[in-house]
Amino acid sequence: MGEAAKASGIALSLHAPYFINLANPDPESLKKNTGYILASCQAADWMGATRVTVHTGALMKRTRREALDIALKSLREVMAVCDGEGYGHITLCPETMGKINQLGDLDEVLELCQLDERLLPCIDFGHLYARSLGELEGLEATVKMLDRVEELLGPDRASRFHSHFSKIAFTPNGGEKIHLTFDQEDFGPDPAPLMAELARRDWSPTIICESAGTQDVDALTMKGLYLDCIGKKAL
Ligand SMILES: [Zn+2]
């Protein structure tokens, strides 16, 4: 896979197991989670992937602050183990999560990334839209979110963040319900404001399309929107 991707000019990244919860204080659980992330780094290394996305976790009836403090401690420990095993060159990317009772709004993920200069946020814009019950979409919200990333991580890291994008349906109480395709109009977010703003800032994040089964078509739509903004013809 690594060789084929390289030959085609495709940058690979890897998603660590979905059930990882950095906010679980149980030492056995931390040991297991560290093992999963270490194995993810090893697989990433085999195929030349440079980034591993990691879920931040669940609140488990704790306050957001308590859960975040546990996750900070866990992530520090995970990084020490990964460094010790020779995977310091793999970039870990804590992800913004879509459900309200999960740790991982934008500020929480940015605080996790302040632990170490090598960390990059995985900003899932669909998740942020879903957990804010539709508030975080449109140009004004996009500008604010990207400004916040730059404010807390500095212009260099901000310009190369990791990202997932899809439309996501939400429920009024919980947030994320289900991923959608760009053709489905009931929910957002609309990809156009993000593409315009990235082009305006001349940033180069990695954006992974996570549409429900239409990743190929919708990724090309985003690429087209972006190229339109920088004044080149799509494809
Ligand atoms: Zn994820």
Q: Are residues 112 and 3 in the same domain?
A: yes
116-140 average pLDDT score: 97
- CA gap 91, 73 in Å, rounded: 18
CA of 203 to the centre of ligand 1 (A): 22
Q: What is the pLDDT of residue 232?
A: 67
- CA gap 183, 126 in Å, rounded: 15
Task: Give start and end residues of each alpha helix (H) in 159-214.
Answer: 192-201
- CA gap 223, 19 in Å, rounded: 31
CA of 233 to the centre of ligand 1 (A): 32
Print the domain residue range for 156.
132-230
Q: Are residues 110 and 12 in the same domain?
A: yes
- Per the domain annotation, does 57 fall within a domain? yes
CA of 55 to the centre of ligand 1 (A): 6
Q: What is the DSSP string of 52-117?
A: EEEE--B-TTS-HHHHHHHHHHHHHHHHHHHHHTT-TTSEEEEE--SBTTBS--HHHHHHHHTT-T
User: What's this model's pTM, rounded to 2 decimal places?
Assistant: 0.95
Q: Are residues 7 and 100 in the same domain?
A: yes
How many independent structural domains does the chain possess?
2
| pLDDT tens for each residue of 8-56 | 999 999 999 999 999 999 999 999 999 999 999 999 999 999 999 999 9
- Per the domain annotation, does 125 fall within a domain? no
- Per the domain annotation, does 114 fall within a domain? yes
Q: Are residues 212 and 180 in the same domain?
A: yes
Rg of the chain in Å (alpha carbons):
17
CATH number at residue 101: 3.20.20.150
